[in-house]
Structure formats: structure tokens, C-alpha cells
Structure 1
Amino acid sequence: MAAEESDERLAELLATAAGLMLLDLQASGKFVGKSLGQAGDARANAMLMHELRAARPDDAILSEEEKDNVVRCDNRRAWIVDPLDGTREYSEGRSDWAVHVALAIQGVPKVGAVALPGLGLTLTSGSPKPLEPANVPLKMLVSRTRPAAEAVYVAEKLGAELLEMGSAGAKAMAVVRGEADIYLHTGGQYEWDNCAPAAVAVAAGLHVSRVNGSPLVYNCADPYLPDLLICRKELAEEVLRLAAEYSPG
């Protein structure tokens, strides 16, 4: 990759290239099950780190697969990367996994690319597509394995249909692509899980925030970022109200 590429183009090229590498590894048959996920994580991460360090040597990097160094917090520009979001889905041969490459500038998700290699797509903040009309009935995305109780409650109140899907990136991009209208998550995530999806969703004109309505902030000393809401803007106020209204038990 060339250092002179724009940030948007660099993110797109890297996410796409990592996705193709992961597809090739999957098709090789050299690894199966958990070992496939582990090999995919390691190889995609090594490639992304090498290319980012070459193209943007002055920028900080936060990756799920790298040992963290909070010195990065002193840098106004931080690349936030998940080399393989949805390792379980990837290992199972499903399509709902992703590669995330994002750039946060002063804590704001400014640039993002989310590759969906199983679908042959890369969505970016640099080339947002017009949003599709809302679904009727509304559709809300939840985890395949641990749907958030708040999301189930909100869906019931809105009369929304629940759709189970794998990785965070796949779910967020389903909203961007118009397959769903709301992605509400409260089950715990880290910055690399949602920075690229947030940047792409913001560029697409969607509402993006924490579940209490506050902004998502990146390149923090503690990268734990446990909840988020990505939805159509006209739904945001009601979804936030219902999420706040939810009470366990």
C-alpha cells in the first residue's frame, strides 16, 4: 500500500485485502474450527500492522490482536483495527464476519472501512450509499448467542422483528445496507468492535451513540466500550427512551 493514499482509500484497501487473505486461508483447508480462527486472526493482523506502520508511521494503532500501549493516547490520530470480527462465524464457514479498519482523530471515528468478505463487499465512510426506506415491520439486529435483554424489550415495544446475526460489523452494516433498522447492543464490546462500523454508519447518515445517548469516544486508555446504538435517525429518540425505560426483572 502506498503512503500517499488518502486515509479513506487506505482503510478500504487494507480491509478488502485482509478479507481476501482470510477467504484464501479458509478455502485452503489447512485449518479447521478454532485453529482456522486463530490462524486467520494472526495472519490478517500481521498484514494490517505491517501495512499501516509503513503507510502511516506517525500514527498510533490499537488492534485487538496486538499488545496495547497507552502511549497511543497521546497521539491525536489512532488507527483502530479488528483483523477478524466474528471469529466464530468465520471458523464455521458463515458469511456474517468482517474486517474493521478505522481511524479515530481526537477520539472521533472519522474514517472507517468494514469488509464483509463472505458477501464480496467493503463498505466505507469515503463512499456512503443512500439509505434504503425503513423496513415494515421494523427489524432489529441481535446476537446469535446472547441477545441483549434491552434490545428484546425495545423490539417488543416497537413491534420490531428480531434478526439474529454474527459479528458486530455484520450487524452494523446490515443497518447501513437497509436489511435492518436498529442495532442496539449492551453486552460488552471494545473499541475495535465498533469504531469502523461507527464511522461507516455516521457517513451513511445514521444515528450512532452509546445507549444512553452520549457519543462514542475512541483511543481511550481503557478500550472497553460496552454498548452502542446504530439506527435510523427518525427512530433514535424513541429507541433511546425505551432503552432507558427498560428495567431488569
Structure 2
Amino acid sequence: MTTRDDHALARDLAAEAGERLLALRDRLGFADPVALRRAGDRESHLHLMESLSRLRPDDRVLSEEATQQERSDPRRRTAERVWIIDPLDGTREFGDDGRADWAVHVALWRRRPGDGTPAAGRPAPEGELVAGAVALPAQGVTLSTAAPPKPPPRQEGMRIAVSRTRPPEFVQKLARLVGAELVPIGSAGAKIAAVLTGEVDAYVHAGGQYEWDSAAPVAVALAAGAHASRIDGSPLRYNQKDPLLPDILVSLPDLAPTLLAGIRDVHRQ
């Protein structure tokens, strides 16, 4: 791969990692899903880290598969550019034969121009997601900021993507309040991609996520004109000292006011 602009690089890295994961599935099979999942996490992480080290040597990386010490490296918080990656989003689904709702996430966060370098004892300046890609290898799809998707027209009714294994109770109450159907989907990347492809109209989650779970799909969603925020409507912030980002709302833009109001009503009950 030659060095390309950040949008194309995110797209190509996510797609390449996805191809490697498909090959790994073919090679190892599903007889030992635990071993397959571990191998998938490791191989995809190593490929992305090596590629970014070679192609963007001056940038920092925040990866789900990094050690705690690597995640806590203070240089990440003062860096101009940080890649936020999830080498295998939906590890559970990756190890299940026939499941296609798993993904590879590659996103780039950049400090806003003019913010300067943070002084000692002061918070690091804010930045923003500037490029990203979500590869859905088993579906043969890669969505990226290189060519943001255009969500198809919304159908009648409302469909909200939720976790297959742990749908939040408040989302079930929200669905009843706004008259929505809940659609279980595996990885966070697959859920947000489903909003952008028209399979669902929104994704609502609360109960525990990290920056790498949403950075890449949120970058693509924002580039596509979708709404993305915390469930209280506040901005999603990345490259924070603590990468915990426990809740999220991604939806078609016209539905965001209804969903945010519904979430407030549910929390008042």
C-alpha cells in the first residue's frame, strides 16, 4: 500500500484487516471459537499497528487490543493526531459460523488547529474525528469518509438497533414510548452501519462502551449527515484520558429530536 490521504488510508486499512480476518476464519474454522476469536483480535491488531507505524510514524494510536500501559501513555493526550482503532469489533460474532455482523474500525482524531499544546496541569485541547472507516468483511462492505454513504429514504415506522445479548432496559421503554421496533444486531459498528444503509433508523445504547467501539462508525455517520451524540444530546468526545464512552445515539437526522425527547421522558419516569 502506498501512503494516501487519511480518508483513503482508513478505508484501505480497515478493508485489508477485514480480508485477513476472513482468511483466518477460513483457515482455522469454527471448531474452537475461543481460539478463533483470540487469533482474530491479535492478527488484526498487529496488522493495523504495523501499517500505521510504517505509514503514519508520527501519529499515536489508541487500540482496544493495546495494553493498559500503552493506553495510558500521556503522549497520546498531547498528540496532534491519534488513530483510534478496534481491530475486531464484535469478537463474539466473528467466532460464530454464519454471522456477518462484526467489523473493523479505523478512525483518525485530530486536534483542532490553533488550540496549541496543553500546558502542564491543564486539560488537553479538544479535537475532532476527521477520517474513518468501518469494514464489514463478511458482508463485503466498507463504509468510509472517503465516500460517505447516503442513507436511503426512511420507511414507515421506526427501527432501533440494539445489542443482541444485552439490550438496555431503558431502550425497551423508549421503543414502547415512540412506537419503535427493536432490531438486535451484533457489533456497534454493524449497528451504526445499519443506520447508514437503511436497515434501521437509529442506534441507542447505554451501559458501557469505549472510544474504539464508536469512533470510526461515528466519523462515517457524521460525514454522511447523520446525527451522533451522547444520549443527553451532548457531543461525543474522543482521545480523552479515560476512553470510557458509556452511551451513544446515532440516528437519521430528522429522528434525533424525537429520540432525545423520548430518552428524557424515559429517564424522568
Smaller-chain TM-score bracket: over 0.9
Distance 2:28 2:87 in 1: 20
Distance in 2 between the 1:43 and 1:108 partners?
A: 28
Among 80, 83, 105, the alignment partner of 1:79 is 83
- Give the match for residue 36 of structure 1: 36
SS state at 2:35 partner? helix
Contact 2:175–2:181 at 8 Å: present in 1 too? yes
Shift of 1:171: 0.2
TM norm structure 1 = 0.96
How many pairs are equivalent? Answer: 248
Q: Distance in 2 between matches of 1:113 and 1:240?
A: 26
Large movers: runs of 4+ above 3 Å: none
Partner Cα separation in structure 2 for residue 95 and residue 114 of structure 1? 13
1-structure distance, mates of 2:149, 2:188: 20
Specify the structure having the higher radius of gyration (Cα). 2
Q: CA deviation at 1:30?
A: 5.7
TM-superposed deviation, 1:29: 2.5
User: Aligned in 2, Cα 1:30/1:136: closer, same or farther, shift over 3 Å?
Assistant: closer
2:2 equivalent to 1:11 = no
- What is the TM-score normalised by the length of structure 2? 0.89
Unpaired runs of 5+ residues, structure 2, are 112-126
Match of 1:227 among 247, 262, 265: 247
Asked whether the 8 Å contact 2:18–2:137 carries over to 1, the reply is: yes
Tell me what 1:196 maps to.
216
Query: Which position in structure 2 is the counterpart of 1:98?
Result: 103
For 1:82 and 1:248, locate their aligned partners in 2 and report how far apart those are by CA, in whole Å.
Answer: 34
Map of 1:1-249 to 2, 5 A cutoff?
1-3=1-3, 5-29=4-28, 32-67=32-67, 68=71, 69-93=73-97, 94-106=99-111, 107-247=127-267
CA distance in 2, matches of 1:30, 1:129: 33
1:244 to partner: Cα distance: 1.7
| 1:137 positional shift | 1.5
Q: How far 1:34 sits from its partner (Å)?
A: 1.1
Structure 1: runs of 5+ lacking an equivalent: none
Q: Name the Cα RMSD after superposition.
A: 1.3
Q: Percent identity among equivalent residues?
A: 47
Cα offset for 1:248?
Answer: 8.3
For 1:135 and 1:190, how far apart are their aligned partners in 2? 31
Once the two structures are superposed, residues 17-60 of structure 1 have per-residue CA deviations (whole angstroms, 9 ceiling, x without a partner) of 00000000001126621110100000000000000011111111
Contact 2:164–2:184 under 8 Å retained in 1: yes
Q: How far is 1:76 from its partner?
A: 2.2
Q: Check whether the contact 2:178–2:262 (CA below 8 A) recurs between aligned residues.
A: no
